Every structure is written in structure tokens, then in C-alpha cells.
A and B are shown apart, each in its own frame.
Chain A
Amino acid sequence: MKKKILVVDDEPHVVKYLTTFLEDSGYETCTAPDGETALHVLRQEKPDLITLDLQMPNETGTRFYRNMTKDKNFKEIPVIVISGIPGRHLAVSKPIAVFEKPIDRAALLAAVKQAIGD
């Protein structure tokens, strides 16, 4: 069965880019444009990995992470942080990897593979 990745980003173009690339690399994807929606999608879809944009407005990304880790069903899901701001990523305590924009596709894929396999 294909592994599933939840892409959380407020920019539709970035979502389109990441989902197209990840699907092309053999993964299923689901998406959310903000932290609140991401929590719903998380419970519904139960992804194997999450890519999280920390540059979304109103701290919705960091809030999502805090809520996610409070839930024992979800706190072990690996998280990859997409952020251009050093220091911001510290809001997430154990990201699998942190990527700055523009994202290195090959490196992103390698990090995903290492975390959840093909």
C-alpha cells in the first residue's frame, strides 16, 4: 500500500508543486491550507508523514504542531519543516528535516524515503 503524506501550506501553488512531485515519486497525498484544517485532515486521513510550512500567518503552523503532538495517536508522525526563517523551525522540536526555499527536490525525496520508505 502506498504511503500517505499530508502537505500543509497556505500557498496553493506550493501545494500543487509538492503534491505533484510527491505523487510522481510514488506517494499518496492529502493537503491543508492552514493549521486548523490540517488537524481535521490529520484525523481523517491518518498520514504517514507531514510536510509543514512554518511561514503561514497567525502562527497556525506552530499551533498545529503543538496540538498534533498532544495527541498520542499522532505525536509519532514524522514532520518535515518547510521554512525560510532560521529559528522558526525551533518551534518544532524534532523535525526529520528542515528545508529552506527553494526546496531541493532530491534532498526532500531522500528525507521522505529515509523516514517512511518508498
Chain B
Amino acid sequence: MEPDVLTLLSPERKHTGSTMHELTDDYYRRLLDALPCYVTLQDRERNVLWSNSLSRRDFGESSEKTCYELHRIDRSKCSDCPVQQTFQDGRIHSREMTFIANEGSRISVIEHSSPVLNDRGTIVSVIQSAVNITSVKDIQKQLIMLGQTVAGMAHSIKNIMMGLEGGIYVVNKGIEAKNQDEVKEGWEMVLLNFEKISHIVKDILYCSKEREPDLQRVNPNEIATQVYTLFKDVAARYAIEVGLDLDENVKEAVIDPVGLHTVLSNLVSNAMDACKIDLWKDEHLVEIRTRLGNDGSTIIEVADNGVGIDKDLKEHVFEDFFSSKGDMGTGLGLMVTQKILREHGGNITFRSRPGQGTTFVATFPQRDEPEQV
């Protein structure tokens, strides 16, 4: 029999028979059930005594389950469980958390717990309400990626300025001392940095123009393997291992091959940067993965065990990302990557643990090949 939420909330009252009270009770039951957030009622052992309609929809039936089993968090209680804290001090506690829903999708929530008291003021149970903030987290991640782009570009430009100042200085010295070799050497420095500026401008122009991707039937695993081959030797020089974890179900997809290659290269390059500046681990790994999504989409993941991304947007974490000099990196890689995904109707996001690592996830939706005109 369905547990009656009103009885659970105030066990001293009798909720029996068809009276005026019962009609009001019924109204309250429906009200509680219809609350537009995940609501559960829990006892001290985190057993879920009752869950509302939305919770049942996304997490399934709650009877005989504990909170952590229902939300697929862990095999045992969370160390920072707000429900436990509320049982201890009778106050409201909150935290951010990630629940796993029925189909395995991750739901970011803000969880609040508040006490339910009986007539004598004893805490009989705790209400846990969790609000879905996944879309807010998405926006936060977009902002973080934007911040990375800005910091990356600033870093590149700083290095270019240094290079130009150096080249100009050496050229002037050469002219003064009538030393042709010095002039040539200085001029080369100027030219090299001019080339770097050109790359940045190219990337900025790329990002500012709307265009249709050149969709073709491609094998994403092949392209992933190409990028793997491209980077594995360079990475080894920095003591970074590159791994490949390809889903054999990903056989073909309709994607712009150059776009896919660029996305993979940018993500691997960023992952390597995160490893290079991670001073706390000796062994680093960058893994390239492909997966087939449930809806036929092609999912590309690039995971690293580098320095991680701090959600508080600490400045030095971004600057550190772009410590590689000498290469033609523009710092705009992530912005270009986002553009490519947007043009395909896909999206890019990431998950990260500061100090432990980051995984970027790019999703290319399933599409039909464009008609041959």
C-alpha cells in the first residue's frame, strides 16, 4: 500500500474516514505530490519513507531504498549528508550534488534538508528537496570555457609581444652595429611572431562567421586514431601517455571531417597543457574516447588527469593552461571547438575535479547526409 505522506508527517493525527478533514487532507496530499522539485521524506538511516511524483518519475520507486541507493550516488552514506546534519541540529542544510537518474543521465541539483517535528518538538523525519540546476550548471560551464578562451588569447598575445619586442630590438641593434646577421636574426623573430598573430586572426575570423559544415560520411574512429598518432610522440616528450578507447559501434557518422579533426586536436592539446602544469602527479594520461549515444549521436570524450578546472574560476588555473610557448597555439582552441559543435547542432561540455583531472565531452548529433546537388 502507498505510504501516506500526511500520516508520515504528523503521525499523531488520525487520517481516517471520509470527512471534511479527509477532503482537505486529500488536497494537501496532491499538493505535496505535485511539488515541482524532487521531494523525499527520510528517517535517520536515510531510508526513503516517501517520494513525490517527480522523484518517482526520474528515479523510480523509492520503497525499501535508501537515499543514496535511490539517487545512485554511492554504496553508502555521503560524508557531508545534509539530512544527517539536520537530524543532528534541527536546522536546514544544503549542498550541491549530482544524482543519477533512471536512464543513467546526470542531474545536477541543489539539495536542501529540513526537519519535520511532532507536537513535542522532536524531529521525526527530514524532508529532502532537491532542485534541478542542470541548465544553470551548463551556463556556468559555458562561462568557464569563455574565461579559458579569453585567458588563453591574452597569454598568446603576451608571448607574441615579447617575441616582437625582442625581434625589433635585435634588428635595431643590427642596423646600429651594421651587422647584417643580427638584422636577419631579429627579422626572423619578427616574422615568426607575425605568423602567430595571423593564426590568431584566422581563428577569430573563423569564430565570427556563420557557416555550414562540410558534412560527409566519415568514420569517427579513424579520425580519432589519426589525432592519436599525431600527438602521442610529442606527448611522450612531456611524460604524458596518450590512450585510445574507441567504441566499435561507432562505425560511421555524418560529420565535417576537418571539423572533427580540429575538435579532437584542440581538446587533446588542452588536455596535454593541463597535464604539463600539474606538478602534483608524476604520471599523466590523456585518453581519447568515442561512444555511440542512445540517440545515434557520436560522442567524443577527451579525458586527462591533469590539474583540473576550478569552478570558482580562479585566474591562475586558466593562465597555467597556456604555458606552452613556441607552438602556434592561439589560445582560441576551445572557442573554435565550441563553434564547430554549434554548427553541427551538437554541444560541448566538461566535468572536472580540481587536482584530479578533466573530461571534455563533445556530442555530434546523428544527421542525414546532405543531398548531392
* Residues of chain A at the chain B interface (Cβ within 8 Å): 10-11, 13-14, 16-18, 20-21, 24, 55, 57-59, 84-88, 100-103, 105
Contacts and interface: CB of A to CB of B under 8 A. Distances in A.
A3 B40 CA distance: 75
Contacts of A59: 279
Interface stretch (B1-9, B155-163, B205-213, B354-362): B155-163
B319 A13 contact: no
A13 B166 CA distance: 7
B170 A17 contact: yes
Interface string B182-196: 100110010010000
A18 B162 CA distance: 11
Contacts of B319: 84-86
B167 A13 contact: yes
B279 A20 contact: no
B162 A55 contact: no
A112 to B, nearest CB: 16
Interface stretch (B28-36, B68-76, B320-328): B320-328
B161 A102 contact: yes
A101 B162 contact: yes
A24 B173 contact: yes
Contacts of A100: 158
B166 A14 contact: yes
Given A11-B325, A24-B173, A84-B319, A58 B159 contact: no
A55 B323 contact: yes
A71 B170 CA distance: 35
A58 B165 contact: no
Contacts of B165: 17, 102-103, 105
Nearest to B323: A55
A68 B99 CA distance: 51
Given A17-B169, A57-B276, 6 more contacts: A13-B189, A13-B192, A24-B173, A85-B320, A86-B315, A100-B158
Contacts of A84: 155, 158-159, 319, 323
B239 interface: yes
A20 to B, nearest CB: 5
B238 interface: yes
A85 B316 contact: yes
A40 to B, nearest CB: 21
A66 B107 CA distance: 47
Contacts of B276: 57
A101 B161 contact: yes
A84 B325 CA distance: 11
Contacts of A88: 320
